[in-house]
Amino acid sequence: MYEFLSTNKSILSQYGDILKSHFEHQQCLWDGSKFFRAQDTFQTDVSYLNPWRTQLQPEKLEIRKLFEVLGQKITPNIDDYLELVDEIAEAADREPLGEDDRKCTIELLRRIANEVVVNRSILDNWNLSLLTEDGYLLDAEDVIIPDAPWREDSIREMDVVSILHPQIPTFLARIAQAPSMAIDVREQPQGKFDFSRDAEAIDLCNRWAKNMRSREFQHGLLRLICDRGIEGEVNLTWLNQTSIIPATAIVTDLYLEQEQIASNVSGDYYFDREQSKFYLRCDLDDRDIMKHYLVKCLNLSLGEYKLTDLLPLLSIIDVEPSEIDGKLNKRKIRPLDTLPDWEENRTQAVGDSLHIYRYQMPQRDSYQPQWEEPESR
């Protein structure tokens, strides 16, 4: 039959589409010992897809062409990789993969990642499954990216959430919308913190907090955010109420959405957004590490406006407010377009000025700052 069809070009040209639609999902390709579906074979070497796909290349060119008419591809493409990941996941049915299937899946996801580098939209309408470190192939939303190594042991101990396999590219997991251990995990304090009574630590934190409440610091922070080229309105009103509290111990539970994934985690910092309070683990033997904790915590509190380079922010956290603009100028941080006159308002319980606090980030190359005065309280 192969000989007849492959040599009868008039039949192939006239009925080729009909043959393909009828046979491409049927076991119609013969390798001398068994039949295969066209979608399960390729003419090039696909040993990296064993045992799920195989190479089938007839010696005669005419029969190769016939196999292509029946739905066989010469080499796999991104659609084949995506479909095979789904096929393996469905067959596993949330059970751990065997060694061969793990190797195949790692190679598939690596090749998908290479394609996604060129075209990120590939996964726009595809729910990609990801391999976990213990060999499960799960929906991306059920696999967490281990980008916070200081949390990994605590999360593993509770064993509630699955962690991404170390050989799967992290950027692929991000694009597939897997949650991040560093970004999406929320800390919840266990009761009250043990506050430090060390006078030096308290004075240090009070000085940093006063700096952060100053208009010069808020202006500098806006410059850093603006320098990233972000569009949108930034609201820093909460900085006007900032306080920093040194603690001898910070113990938290970790949550992913509403599910607890770790407990009794010893932390270095915590931000209470409702009260604008920063809690820092006290370490007077290493004052720089306390500043580092504060800068990281402050940056996380910025949400979508968080900075990618923390060195400029670190340079202005422990200086006199009057020095901040000069520090940023030396680091070549571009200034804001214009600033209005600042008005003092000493009605705040913290005893500092309440400052203008909203800024409309420039759109593209046009700077049009818009400032609003908060109501006096």
Expressed in angstroms, the distance from the first to the final Cα of the chain is 89
Close Cβ partners of 313 (under 8 Å, ≥ 6 residues apart) = 221, 224, 295, 298, 299, 307
Higher pLDDT, 12 or 90: 90
User: What is the percent of the chain where pLDDT is above 70?
Assistant: 74
How does residue 69 score in pLDDT terms, banded at 50, 70 and 90?
low
Q: Smallest Cα–Cα separation from 329: which of 209, 224, 218?
A: 224
Higher pLDDT, 68 or 282: 282
pLDDT at residue number 166: 95
Least confident of 138-152, 166-180, 285-299: 285-299
pLDDT at residue number 352: 40
Residue that is written with structure tokens 């016939």 in the block:
66
- pTM, two decimals, is 0.67
Least confident of 142-151, 206-215, 302-311, 320-329: 302-311
Packed helices 215-227 and 199-213: angle between N→C axes, nearest 10 degrees: 70
Least confident of 144-148, 314-318, 345-349: 345-349
| Of the ranges 191-200, 237-246, 276-285, 315-324, the best mean pLDDT one | 315-324
Round to whole Å and give the CA distance between 325 and 188.
36
Geometric angle at alpha carbon 105, from 101 and 111, rounded to 5°: 150
- Pair 347, 210: CB distance under 8 Å: no
Least confident of 118-122, 157-161, 336-340: 336-340
How confident is the prediction for the chain on average, in pLDDT? 80
What are the domain boundaries of the chain?
2-69, 93-185, 193-361
Round to whole Å and give the CA distance between 323 and 332.
15
pLDDT at residue number 187: 86
Higher pLDDT, 237 or 65: 237
How does residue 31 score in pLDDT terms, banded at 50, 70 and 90?
low
- Greatest Cα pair distance, the chain, in angstroms, is 95
User: What is the percent of the chain where pLDDT is above 90?
Assistant: 46
Higher pLDDT, 42 or 185: 185
How does residue 60 score in pLDDT terms, banded at 50, 70 and 90?
low
Q: What does each C-alpha distance from 138 to 76, 114, 248 come to in angstroms?
A: 23, 20, 40
pLDDT at residue number 227: 85
